Amino acid sequence: MDSLGFKGRFALGLALRMLLLLAALAAFAGALSNPNLGAARVIAAALVIGAAAMLWNYIQRTNHEVTRFVEAIRFGDMSASFSRPQAGAGFEALGEALDSGIRSLREERSRMADESRFLQAIVDDLPVALLLIDQDLRVEPVGKTARRMFGALDGVRVDDYAVFGEGFSRCLANMEAGKRQLVTLTLEGGRTQRALLRAAAVHRLGGAHRVITVQPIQEALNAVEIATQTDLVRVLTHEIMNSMTPVTSLARTAADLMKEVDTGENETVADARAAVETLARRADGVMHFVESYRQISRTPQVNRQTFIAAPFAGELRRLFQADWPATRIALEVSVEPETMMIDADPDLLAQVLINLLRNGAEAAQAHSETPRIALRFQAIRGSGATILVEDNGPGVPEAKRSEIFLPFFTTKAKGTGVGLSLARQIVLAHDGSIDVEESNLGGARFRIIL
């Protein structure tokens, strides 16, 4: 209704001013036709000029208000006001209509800003890293996960991402929209991580871009692998123990009976007794061997806490040297920086490290005349810790490095294949990783990243 009122009142005012101009023009024309009315011609001319000016100002007033409204929208000035309560001729209605339009635009902009912040919050908190790649192969990490994973990188080109793996860099450069690829990432601290990449095409500011999602799946793969191994061990130990329990019982009974009848006079009876006793010992050994594997089928319960690394390292030194004094093997322990903290279960982590230290000590002592072993704690920038256990033993052949953490696998004559498998389970339960590589000391180096 306000808009119709403005149109009616504006048309009326415009008509009146045009009539006034026409009347002034008629008077001026009449004065020109009479040579005796010189003063009247001047007055009529002034009236024409005045009426034309009034008509011009009346029209320009509307243009001025509309121009102000357009300029406010153009420059994003949503605080502009057009209200003219005493303007008359319907201009107060025009001002209210323009103010209403500004309010609607302001509310829409506020709604869109809220929606943008909401969507940005969702993107920022996604557990998947997003990489935005333009046509010039410039890469922009999007979201907290991507900035945490790749934010330490100085470069912005695809080639700069080769530090995370050549295969990863090639995928960023060549991966087409709609495709997916499984790659291995080498993250800070030397930690490897399997990741699933997916590509999609988007448009931004008129340009074509690709979005690559980087979804780490190493933890899921580890969980599946551990679950499979656990189920296998559980089934095997159950079946073996069910079969061996009566054998062990009968072997012990037979050994006791042979002991009673063996007087030492009959050589055949003595040989039979020795055979039965050997069978009983081996049956007990098999039962002990199978029992030791039961601990692999139990998922470690992790009680995480944050503690200072230096006192923890000192306690490990004392525990190790209780069995391996410094006169037998040289142990080097270092913590960098000395104030570094570790977020882990101290009891389970100590179990892993003591086992690795003892394995390293045995390997070094059997291989070198001057056995050495080292335990190093290193803080990872941002968060986390790297723990290294290395020795100057014979090392682990590259062909066997992927096998030494499997249950039942051992290179020791009297080994059970439990220690390293259990160590890996404990580390994976901390959402960490454990790998073996060649040490600068010449032997093996176990790298744990938490």
pLDDT tens digits, one per residue of 19-29: 887 887 777 77
- pLDDT attached to residue 320: 86
**Within 10 A of 89 (CB to CB), how many other CB atoms are there?**
18
Q: Tens digit of pLDDT for each residue in 406-436?
A: 766 666 655 555 678 778 888 888 878 888 8
| Average pLDDT of the segment spanning 203-223 | 76
* Token pair 């988007």 in the structure block, residue: 202
| DSSP tag of 138 | B
Region 102-117 average pLDDT: 82
Which token pair is 183?
Answer: 């790659």
* All residues at 6 or more sequence positions from 142 whose CB lies less than 8 Å from its CB, including other chains: 123, 130, 131, 132, 211
User: How far is the CA of 102 from the CAs of 64, 68, 80, 108, in angstroms?
Assistant: 16, 11, 8, 10
Domain 126-216 annotated CATH 3.30.450.20: yes
pLDDT value for 5: 53
Which DSSP string do the residues of 190-252 spell out, in sequence order? G-EEEEEEEEEEEEETTEEEEEEEEEE-HHHHHHHHHHHHHHHHHHHHHHHHHHHHHHHHHHH
The answer on pLDDT for 208 being more than 70 is yes
Q: What is the pLDDT of residue 414?
A: 57
Distance CA 395, CA 401 (A): 10
d(CA 14, CA 389): 94
Answer whether 204's CB lies under 8 Å from 210's CB. Answer: no
Average pLDDT in the 338-358 region? 88
Report the CATH number of the 305-449 domain.
3.30.565.10
Q: How far is CA 320 from CA 333, 347, 357, 432, in A?
A: 11, 15, 7, 24
- In angstroms, the Cα distances linking 258 to 173, 246, 252, 268 are 77, 18, 10, 11
Q: Which residue has the higher pLDDT, 328 or 410?
A: 328
Q: What is the mean pLDDT of the chain?
A: 78
Q: What is the average pLDDT across 36-53?
A: 76
What's the pLDDT band for 375 if we cut at 50, 70, 90?
very high
Q: How far apart are CA 187 and CA 190, in angstroms?
A: 6
Same fold, 126-216 and 305-449: no
Of 347, 383, 375, give the one whose Cα is nearest residue 445.
375
Q: What is the pLDDT of residue 388?
A: 92
Residue type at position 266: N
| H-assigned helices in 75-175 | 91-124, 144-150, 166-174
- pLDDT tens profile 160-190: 888 888 888 888 888 888 888 888 887 765 6
Check residue 3 and give its pLDDT. 47
Report how far residue 102's alpha carbon sits from residue 96's, in angstroms, rounded to the nearest whole number: 10
Mean pLDDT of 343-367: 87
Highest mean pLDDT among 22-26, 146-150, 336-340: 336-340
Question: Tokens 């502009």 label which residue?
Answer: 80
Q: Which of 223-232, 244-253, 358-367, 406-415 has the lowest mean pLDDT?
A: 406-415
DSSP bridge partners of 388: 376, 447
In order of 79, 91, 166, 200, 219, the CA distances from 85 in angstroms are 18, 8, 71, 55, 69
Structural domain spans, the chain: 2-118, 126-216, 220-297, 305-449
pTM of the model as a whole: 0.52
CA-to-CA distance for 158 and 168, rounded, in angstroms?
A: 9
State the DSSP H helix or E strand holding residue 331, giving kind and residue range, or none if neither: strand 330-336
Confidence band, pLDDT 50/70/90 cuts, at residue 2 = very low
DSSP state of 381: S
What proportion of the chain, given as a percentage, has pLDDT over 70? 79
Structure tokens at 332: 């080097």
User: Which neighbouring-strand residues pair with 331?
Assistant: 373
Burial class (CB in 10 A: 0-12, 13-18, 19+), 118: exposed
Higher-pLDDT residue of 259 and 359 is: 359
Name the maximum alpha-carbon separation found in the chain: 175
Q: What are the tokens at 38?
A: 């010189």
pLDDT at 1: 42
Write down the pLDDT at residue 293. Answer: 59
Cα–Cα distance measured from residue 360 to residue 374, given in angstroms and rounded to the nearest whole number? 9
Give me the residue label for tokens 């945490």: 148
The pLDDT tens digits for 253-279 are: 887 887 777 777 777 778 787 878 777
* Residue 87 predicted with pLDDT over 60: no
Structure confidence at residue 370 as a pLDDT band (50, 70, 90): confident
Residue 377's pLDDT band (boundaries 50, 70, 90)?
Answer: very high
- Who has greater pLDDT, 6 or 260? 260
Average pLDDT over residues 194-213: 82
Cα-Cα-Cα-Cα dihedral sign, residues 192, 198, 204, 207 = positive
What pLDDT was estimated at residue 175? 85
Q: Is the pLDDT of residue 361 over 60?
A: yes
> Can you tell me the mean pLDDT for 323-344?
87
